Amino acid sequence: MRIAINTGGGDAPGLNAAIRAATLTALSKGWEVFGIRNGYGSLYTDDPFIPLTASIVKRITMQGGTILGAANRGNPFEYPYQKEDGTWAAEDRSDEIVKMFKKHKIDALVAIGGDGSMYIAHKLVKKGIQIVGVPKTIDNDIYGCDVTLGFDTAVSTATEAIDKITTTAEAHQRVMVVEVMGRYAGWIALHAGLSASADVILIPEIPFIIDDIVNKIKSVESRGKEYAIVVVAEGATEKDGERFVRGKKIGQAELLGGIGEFLEKKLGKLTGKESRSLVLGHLQRGGMPTTYDRLISLRFGSAAIRCIDDGDFNKLVVMRENRIQRIPISEVAEKVKKVQTDSDTVITARDIGVSFGNESER
């Protein structure tokens, strides 16, 4: 067997561990293993497949980033190119990929990626490439799996940042707003906010009412706690309000500083307290993976090879009900796993006094 591995989409801690485990497991079966650089990027070049050996993957389990690179220019089915007049257009270059796989006699691909990557994988499968996917995203929003590679590290980084911010918030009696990643799902905000004892957690799944946040801050203050921590997912949105994603109010071209800055100003004015905001941004994507992420990444990478070995293609290896399972990639594509607003974690948060900014309507 000759297999290839690639990593696509945004960076996530654990990618290298998955690459290492997939490579070593495949080598142990006597297979040949190759890396594709930058998503599918190197397939358009003269150096499409890089041989992966035990020594190349040595000591990378603990390294953030990906040794295969992730600087892809885009979806092979809508690959961007610049026209003569300087404007951009897109073309379908997927046939080149299929050709390269055939030319180099690659039997199967381990595609490590998020929903975008799985969408592409799904279409490549239809063109005859045999693929097994590994679910990766710090956002934890891939449908069909309990947890994705990179999420635990992102939550830990966010929690640690909120911990730091909290001591300063207390010293200065401030409202501190921490904006974390999560455009469509509030997993990082929910887990990090709860772990770091936030007073308010705002997620896309629960549109917030600004007065409910203000009431929570005042109620906290009335019990002698003179500061408040608000954790907000970048995609959280005001009820009956507009949607802000990184400053872009959807439906308008208006540029603002994002939901964090919006809340900083609004809450400062409405509570009369000093307030500050912080956007954690790319900090959440990088760094050494946690032990938890190292372990599931190794297990995912190795399980993907066993999946190939079983001839069980077009599957995503996932962690579900605390076991590695295989589900059809088609089941996952174009869906998002959202926070259930009646889940045990949300109930726990409410029970210990966290506001989700919608208490007046419950």
Structure tokens at 74: 């885009």
Q: Which of 139, 141, 152, 199 is catalytic?
A: 139
Min separation Cβ 143 and a second copy, Å = 15
Q: Name the DSSP letter for residue 17.
A: H
Q: Is 91 exposed, middle or buried (0-12, 13-18, 19+ CB in 10 A)?
A: exposed
Closer residue to a second copy (CB): 106 or 303: 303
Rounded CA-CA distance 72/269 in Å is 43
342 is catalytic: no
- DSSP string covering 200-247, please? EEE-TTS-B-HHHHHHHHHHHHHTT---EEEEEETT-BBTTS-BEETT
Taking the least distance from each CB to a second copy, the nearer of 214 and 317 is 317
Torsion over CA of 192, 193, 194 and 196, rounded to 10 degrees?
80
How near is the Cβ of 103 to a second copy at its closest, in Å?
26
Least spacing, CB of residue 36 vs a second copy, in Å: 14
Minimum CB distance to a second copy, residue 94 (Å): 23
| 68: CB partners within 8 A, 6+ apart | 5, 6, 7, 15, 19, 35, 36, 37, 38
Nearest approach in angstroms of CB 10 to a second copy is 8
State which residue, 129 or 138, has the beta carbon closest to a second copy: 138
Q: Which is nearer to a second copy, 224 or 311 (CB)?
A: 224
Nearer to a second copy, 129 or 339 (CB): 339
For tokens 């919006």, what's the residue? 262
Query: Which residues carry out catalysis?
Result: 139
